[in-house]
């Protein structure tokens, strides 16, 4: 029997599962890889092209809710979007597997599995991977993102191109959905480190209990589940680039540990005392105003200056009106390729809506709406109802609104004065979250200095 030229990765913490599945699948597929520690996924995917991953959903003793599997699924889809993932779960945990399907998994199989079912599922996953790869070849990889023609976005990318050739640390600022990850990857792809790893970490989703082990790694025996020596994300990015997203959400007590790594260019794994040298380019991003965070003593000033050798601000889509329609057309083409649809066009009224809509969710909102429209549209024409924009036009202030804004601004200024510019106390007094207060400070151009 001729084997299929495909690469399969099996991830499970039970050696008997790894052995049995590898022996069986090796009869049908060329390359079979196994991992007993999910922490090594990032390192392996940065070195090898994997068509299909068989992913167990639970790894730690006493934790059987499948949350680890869902988190790892997200990691895999971020690192290698074309890799097809099949979840492995025990009988009785099907609900979590179904949630995994909604989050991008291709299929799930129950353990213990039937070999026939396992083989059929993997074959179908390989076929899907091949189709996705074929679609990708039809798109120019170098142009697989949209920049735009507005002066404000061209200025941001011009600055990115200049700093890309250096090893300077970069801080990317911008609202959610403005393309901070895309810009970070662009800087990496234009740099001298482009042939080395690019490791992205969403700091906002990291529990503080695993912050150090995830970023810095750990030695065998450092804690209960530390079965083998494991590198952290910084080590995985050695000679390459690490992208730390949502850095503004790192708790104050952990910022000092991050600062030490950046300052010394070394990392010490949990359970070890000897620091390991690092050669890593650092790009960070946040949707918070870090200057205000520093002023309110929620973010270390020394860390701010360490990560902010060069600052690039990505504008919200509402400030890039001339880019809205070209961006929508780009996203439409992307979705046509993704779903293998025939040529689809926008109705003229839809283009008018796109131009007038505020797009408070920025590029992410537009991509979501257009993907939905491509799925729903009939006769290859996207209509107003397909696009489903709840609010058509950007918000415009009436005279009454302007008067209310003046009252609100005065209330914010009064509360700040009373609380000596302490943002947390001011927000509490006004009944606002800190984020909501920051938005008002920016809206009314209120300076804390």
The answer on 104 and 208 residing in a single domain is: no
- What is the pLDDT at residue 392? 41
Shared-domain flag, residues 157 and 273: yes
State whether 263 and 323 are in the same domain. no
DSSP letters spanning 50-95? -SEEEEES--STT--SSHHHHHHHHHHHHH-TT-EEEEEEETT-HH
- For residue 146, being part of any structural domain is answered with no
Q: Does residue 297 form part of some domain?
A: yes
pLDDT of residue 141: 39
| Statement: residue 221 has pLDDT above 80 | yes
Query: Contact 306/262 with Cβ under 8 angstroms?
Result: yes
Q: Scanning the structure block, which residue is given the tokens 């105003």?
A: 289
What's the mean pLDDT when you consider all of the chain?
86
Question: So what's the pLDDT on residue 49?
Answer: 86
Q: Are residues 167 and 292 in the same domain?
A: yes
What was the pLDDT predicted at 92? 54
Q: Highest mean pLDDT range out of 206-210, 217-221, 241-245? A: 241-245
Q: What is the CATH number of the domain that holds 226?
A: 3.40.50.300
Instruction: Give the CA count within 13 Å in the CB-facing half-sphere of 383.
Output: 6
Q: What is the domain-level CATH number for residue 410?
A: 1.10.10
Percent of the chain with pLDDT over 70: 90
pTM: 0.64
**Same domain, residue pair 164 and 288:** yes
Q: What is the mean predicted confidence (pLDDT) over 93-99?
A: 75
pLDDT reported for residue 134: 64
Q: Is 239 helix (H, G, I), strand (E, B) or coil?
A: coil
Is residue 145 situated within a structural domain? no
Give the pLDDT score at 449: 61
Is pLDDT at 91 greater than 60 in this prediction?
A: no
- 178: buried, middle or exposed (CB in 10 Å: 19+, 13-18, 0-12)? buried
Nearest CA among 350, 403, 349, 404 for reference residue 372: 350
Contact 368, 332 (CB under 8 A): no
pLDDT given at position 205:
81
Write the CA distances from 30 to 15, 50, 54, 129, integer angstroms.
21, 12, 16, 15
What is the predicted pLDDT for the residue at 340?
82
Average pLDDT over residues 67-75: 83
* Strand duo 266-267 + 276-277: pairing: antiparallel
Q: Is residue 294 domain-resident?
A: yes
Per-residue pLDDT of 357-374, as tens digits, reads: 999 999 999 999 999 999
Instruction: Say if 163 falls within a structural domain.
Output: yes
Averaged over 241-246, what is the pLDDT? 96
Does 163 lie in the same domain as 106? no
Domain boundary among 339, 355, 387: 387
Residue 196 burial (CB count, 10 A): 18
- pLDDT band at 189, cuts 50/70/90? very high
The C-alpha atoms of residue 46 and residue 205 are separated, in whole angstroms, by 21
Confidence at residue 32, expressed as pLDDT on a 0 to 100 scale? 95
Distances (CA, A) of 18 to 32, 54, 74: 10, 10, 22
Cα separation, 364 vs 101, in Å, equals 21
- The answer to whether residue 322 is domain-embedded is yes
Q: Find out whether 84 and 108 touch, Cβ atoms under 8 Å.
A: no
Residue 265 near residue 278, CB atoms below 8 Å: yes
User: How many separate domains does the chain show?
Assistant: 4
Of 347, 367, 387, the one marking the end of a domain is 387
Q: How far is CA 409 from the centre of its chain?
A: 35
Q: Which of 138, 166, 194 is the last residue of a domain?
A: 138
pLDDT at 64: 59
- Whether 113 and 235 map to the same domain: the answer is no
Residues 171 and 36 in one domain: no
Rounded Cα gap, residues 93 and 89, in angstroms: 6
Give residue 142's pLDDT.
Answer: 41
End-to-end CA, the chain: 74
CA distance 397 to 406: 12
* 55 and 122 both lie in a single domain: yes
Domain that holds residue 284: 151-313
- pLDDT band at 58; cut points 50, 70, 90: confident
Task: Note the pLDDT of residue 393.
Answer: 42
362 and 329 in contact (C-beta within 8 Å)?
no
pLDDT tens per residue across span 376-409: 988 889 999 999 886 444 444 445 445 556 677 8
* pLDDT tens-digit series, residues 8-50: 999 998 899 999 999 999 999 999 999 988 878 888 887 788 9
Whether 285 and 224 map to the same domain: the answer is yes
Contacts of 272 (CB under 8 A, 6+ apart): 219, 222
Spatial neighbors of 48 by CB under 8 A, at least 6 apart, are 7, 33
- Structure letter (DSSP) for residue 314: P
Length of the chain in terms of residues written: 449
Has residue 18 been placed in a domain? yes
Residue entry with tokens 């961006």: 327
Per-residue pLDDT, averaged over 46-71, amounts to 78
126 sits in which H/E element: helix 115-137
157 φ, ψ (degrees, to nearest 5):
-75, -30
Give pLDDT tens digits for 276-317.
Answer: 999 999 999 999 999 999 998 999 999 999 999 999 999 999
238 closest CA partner among 181, 284, 276, 285: 276
Say which residue, 215 or 1, is predicted with more confidence. Answer: 215
pLDDT value of residue 118:
93
Look at residue 224 in the predicted model and tell me its pLDDT.
82
- Both 130 and 160 in one domain: the answer is no
- What's the token pair of residue 443? 């809206």
Rounded distance between C-alpha atoms, residue 160 and residue 164, angstroms: 6
254 falls within a domain: yes
Residue-level pLDDT at 70: 84
* Mean pLDDT confidence for 109-128: 91
Share of the chain above pLDDT 90, in %: 56
Residue 334 and residue 204 share a domain: no
Banded pLDDT at 244 (limits 50, 70, 90): very high
Choose among 209, 160, 211: nearest CA to 188: 160
pLDDT, tens digit, for every residue of 251-276?
Answer: 999 999 999 999 999 999 999 999 99
């Amino acid at each position: 029997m001729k084997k299929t030229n495909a690469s399969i990765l099996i991830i499970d913490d039970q050696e008997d599962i790894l052995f049995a599945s590898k022996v069986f699948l090796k009869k049908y597929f060329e390359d079979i890889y196994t991992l007993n520690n999910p922490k090594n996924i990032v390192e392996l995917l940065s070195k090898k092209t994997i068509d299909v991953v068989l992913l167990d959903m639970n790894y730690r003793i006493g934790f059987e809710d499948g949350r680890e599997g869902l988190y790892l699924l997200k990691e895999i889809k971020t690192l290698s979007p074309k890799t097809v993932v099949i979840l492995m779960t025990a009988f009785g945990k099907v609900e979590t597997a179904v949630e995994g399907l909604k989050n991008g998994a291709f299929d799930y199989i129950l353990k213990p599995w039937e070999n026939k079912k396992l083989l059929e599922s993997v074959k179908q996953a390989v076929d899907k991977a091949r189709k996705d790869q074929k679609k990708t070849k039809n798109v120019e990889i170098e142009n697989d993102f949209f920049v735009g023609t507005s002066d404000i976005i061209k200025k941001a990318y011009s600055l990115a191109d200049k700093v890309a050739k250096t090893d300077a640390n970069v801080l990317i600022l911008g609202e959610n959905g403005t393309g901070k990850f895309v810009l970070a990857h662009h800087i990496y792809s234009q740099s001298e480190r482009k042939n080395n790893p690019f490791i992205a970490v969403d700091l906002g989703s990291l529990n503080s209990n695993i912050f150090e082990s995830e970023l810095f790694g750990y030695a065998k025996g450092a804690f209960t589940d530390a079965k083998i020596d494991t590198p952290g994300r910084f080590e995985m990015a050695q000679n390459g680039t690490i992208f730390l997203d949502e850095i503004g959400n790192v708790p104050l007590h952990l910022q000092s540990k991050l600062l030490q790594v950046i300052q010394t260019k070394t990392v010490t794994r949990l359970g070890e005392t000897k620091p390991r040298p690092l050669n890593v380019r650092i790009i960070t991003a946040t949707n918070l105003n870090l200057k205000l965070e520093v002023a309110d003593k929620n973010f270390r000033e020394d860390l701010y200056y360490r990560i902010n050798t060069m600052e690039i601000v990505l504008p919200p889509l509402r400030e890039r009106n001339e880019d809205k329609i070209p961006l929508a057309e780009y996203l439409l083409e992307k979705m046509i390729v993704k779903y293998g649809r025939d040529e689809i066009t926008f109705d003229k009224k839809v283009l008018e809506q796109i131009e007038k809509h505020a797009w408070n969710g920025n590029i992410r909102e537009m991509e979501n709406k257009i993907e939905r429209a491509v799925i729903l549209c009939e006769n290859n024409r996207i209509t107003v109802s397909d696009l489903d924009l709840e609010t058509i036009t950007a918000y415009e202030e009436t005279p009454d609104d302007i008067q209310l804004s003046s009252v609100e601004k005065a209330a914010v200024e009064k509360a700040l004065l009373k609380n000596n510019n302490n943002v947390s106390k001011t927000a509490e007094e006004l009944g606002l979250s800190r984020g909501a207060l920051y938005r008002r400070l920016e809206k009314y151009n209120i300076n804390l200095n």
